[in-house]
Chains A and B, each alone.
Chain A
Amino acid sequence: MTAPATVRVTVNGEPRDVAPGTTVAALVRDMGLEARGVAVAVDGEVVPKRRWGERTLAGGEHVEVLTIAQGG
């Protein structure tokens, strides 16, 4: 049996297909973002930047990719 070509995750509320083994770092890069000013949570847990390169995404996970916005 071959591994699936993609896994489906949810990014900021929208479904997104990514290659198996995609890391948080790769996702952020694929979204055209720099690391500066960006923070990521997976299934409600904050993923520190130093772990972005090792934290791979599994199918069904909910990813929040956040940045600063006007407020307060």
Chain B
Amino acid sequence: MDTLRVLIVDDEDDFRETIVKRLNARKIQSEGAASGVKALEVLKDKDFDVIVLDVKMPDMDGIETLRHIKKLKPETEVIMLTGHASVEFGLKGMQLGAFDYVMKPAPLNELLDTIGQAYNKKRGLIH
């Protein structure tokens, strides 16, 4: 069975790095990207199963990044992370093909849960 690969896209370094560490500690292979542009660069070389994408970022926001991701790697599942908590953004993300949205700050369990569901969906699609 392949290992679950997760990319965390968030401009908050402390948040992103800690999440990456915690996921890795749970045997989830994860990396971080500090912006939408960096995330797209990483995606060119690597594949990920699930991408956790912050909605509000400088330069390229989450919605814009989501569009590019869905063009580049349509099979990758995306979970929107809304620090803004506006359900609008979450819903808009889902219209654009995101799997779900999670309100920030979310307990790690909740995020893991959603990541698991997204991964299951992707596998179901492949197999």
**Pair from one complex:** no
By a beta-carbon cutoff of 8 Å, the part of chain B in contact with chain A is none
By a beta-carbon cutoff of 8 Å, the part of chain A in contact with chain B is none
